[in-house]
Amino acid sequence: MAHITINQYLQQVYEAIDNHEGSFCAELLSFKHPHVANPRLQLASPEEKCQQVLEVPYDEMVAAHLRCTYAVSNHDFVEAYKCQTLVVQYPFVMFAVTLDLRIFANNAEQQLLRKGKGKLGDMLEKAAEQLMGCFRVCASDNRAGIDDSKKWGMLFLINQLFKIYFKINKLHLCKPLIRAIDSSNLKDDYSMAQRVTYKYYVGRKAMFDSDYKPAEEYLSFSFQHCHRSSQRNKRMILIYLLPVKMLLGHMPNHQLLRKYDLMQFADVTKAVSEGNLLLLNEALAKHETFFIRCGIFLILEKLKIITYRNLFKKVYQLLKTHQLPLDAFLVALKMMQVEEVDIDEVQCILANLICEGHIKGYISHQHQKLVVSKANPFPLLSSSS
């Protein structure tokens, strides 16, 4: 592949098309294939050669692909991206080509940013628009039989689109895609790898929308079915699964954290289960950059409520009475060095815990006491979330 002439290459493409060898043809247009390193194919103006061997519209497509290899060899990713957008218009070699499109869009963005031009997200947004075009073609493919149907391309495209939307922070654009898959009768028949990716993104979206129970389901599925050898992917899923599970009251054990190199969660876990607000604040501050970069800092802050609940449960266990003076809670909070908290706020926090179902009881303002139920005043977290 690295030594063939342009004519030999074009001949191979022509035969692949003629014999309906879609996957081979796709390889000949993919950047993962060695032919792209062949300098004889890296041409700035291959149009005439292509026209000589191939029919319309393949001549254009392949010409664009060859111009692309030329651009990539010159490290001009902006140019490469532009060429690739032309190639992408022909849906039957979609997979490889759209993947390359997204990767080039990414690289083109990096290049433009380095040169100080272009707004972050512009290139990726345009790539997304192209992909949506392909998506519509697939989704509306009602003609072909189920084996040939372009609908098989849908999940792959959707996953590509998800990646872009998450990167440019336009998550609301995911909704119509999710609806399309939900209403499709093929949804359980796609390859496991694609389904794992899909559920990963849908799970993250659910997290963002504060739907923690569905988020846990999706992310758990993704984690369990992710291939054993993809350590990196499993770790990525865990980064989002852990906070959700913690919010539902399930703390991870150290073994798991060590196995996937996620010790940043260790202090957070310890703080939450002990009701140690001070340690929680310290842990969040210490690994702030990591948590913010992953987009989970805000969710971890929600663990404060769980931490309050655990702290107050300890107060209850210490005092061994069902009529707890509000002052005791205030003292507990002050010991945790919570800033500027007074008795009114204590009441509010307790009232919130009661409202959320984490405490069974009521507050008597006149007696300045929290009166808890004699039976199970601190229900299990998983049952009240």
Partner 1 sequence: MNNKIASRRVSHSRRRGQPVERDWRQHHNQGVWREVQEERRQESIPRGVCLSMCPIRELQDREAQNLLHRFEVLSGTERERWPRADPSGVVKEYARPAAGKDSTRPSDLRPPAVLLKTVFYLVDNIAASPTLRPWTEVYDFVFDRLRSVRQDMIIQRVSGADCVAVLERTVRFLIYASYRLCGEPLRLYDPRINDTHLQESLSWLLECYTSGKHPNQEEFQALGLLYNLGSSRATQHTMELPERIRSSPVMHLALSVSRAFMERNPVRLLRLAHSLDFLQSCALHRHLVTCRRDLLLIYSHGHSSKNCRFPLHKLSHILALDVPLTNQLCQAHGVEVHGDSVVFSKTTFTEPEAGKLQCAHFHDLVDRKQRDLTVGSIIHGCT
Number of neighbours of residue 306 by Cβ within 10 angstroms: 23
Asked whether the beta carbons of 165 and 174 are under 8 A apart, the reply is yes
Smaller CB separation from partner 1, 249 or 361 = 361
Separation between Cα atoms, residue 299 and residue 310, nearest integer Å: 18
Instruction: Provide the minimum distance between the beta carbon of 310 and partner 1 in the complex, in angstroms, as a whole number.
Output: 15
Residue identified by tokens 């802050």 is 301
Question: SS3 for 145?
Answer: coil
State the residues that interact with partner 1 by CB under 8 A: 51-53, 55-57, 60, 82, 85-86, 117, 119, 169, 208, 292, 295, 297-298, 301-302, 304-305, 344-345, 347-355, 362-366, 371
Instruction: Provide the minimum distance between the beta carbon of 64 and partner 1 in the complex, in angstroms, as a whole number.
Output: 8
Instruction: Provide the minimum distance between the beta carbon of 365 and partner 1 in the complex, in angstroms, as a whole number.
Output: 5
Name every residue whose Cβ is closer than 8 Å to that of residue 25 and which is 6 or more positions away in sequence: 13, 16, 17, 92, 93
Amino acid type, 340:
E
Separation between Cα atoms, residue 112 and residue 179, nearest integer Å: 34
Separation between Cα atoms, residue 209 and residue 335, nearest integer Å: 34
Phi, psi of 356 (to 5 degrees): -80, -5
Instruction: Provide the minimum distance between the beta carbon of 275 and partner 1 in the complex, in angstroms, as a whole number.
Output: 16
Run of H or E residues at 213: helix 212-225
Smaller CB separation from partner 1, 85 or 106 = 85
Instruction: Provide the minimum distance between the beta carbon of 155 and partner 1 in the complex, in angstroms, as a whole number.
Output: 26
Smaller CB separation from partner 1, 56 or 375 = 56
Instruction: Provide the minimum distance between the beta carbon of 95 and partner 1 in the complex, in angstroms, as a whole number.
Output: 23
Smaller CB separation from partner 1, 170 or 187 = 170
Instruction: Provide the minimum distance between the beta carbon of 82 and partner 1 in the complex, in angstroms, as a whole number.
Output: 5
Smaller CB separation from partner 1, 105 or 180 = 105
Separation between Cα atoms, residue 294 and residue 203, nearest integer Å: 14
The Cα diameter of the chain in Å comes to 94
Asked whether the beta carbons of 14 and 34 are under 8 A apart, the reply is no
Smaller CB separation from partner 1, 258 or 286 = 286
Separation between Cα atoms, residue 16 and residue 286, nearest integer Å: 57
Smaller CB separation from partner 1, 190 or 212 = 212
Smaller CB separation from partner 1, 83 or 177 = 83
Instruction: Provide the minimum distance between the beta carbon of 385 and partner 1 in the complex, in angstroms, as a whole number.
Output: 14
Number of neighbours of residue 173 by Cβ within 10 angstroms: 15
Number of neighbours of residue 50 by Cβ within 10 angstroms: 22
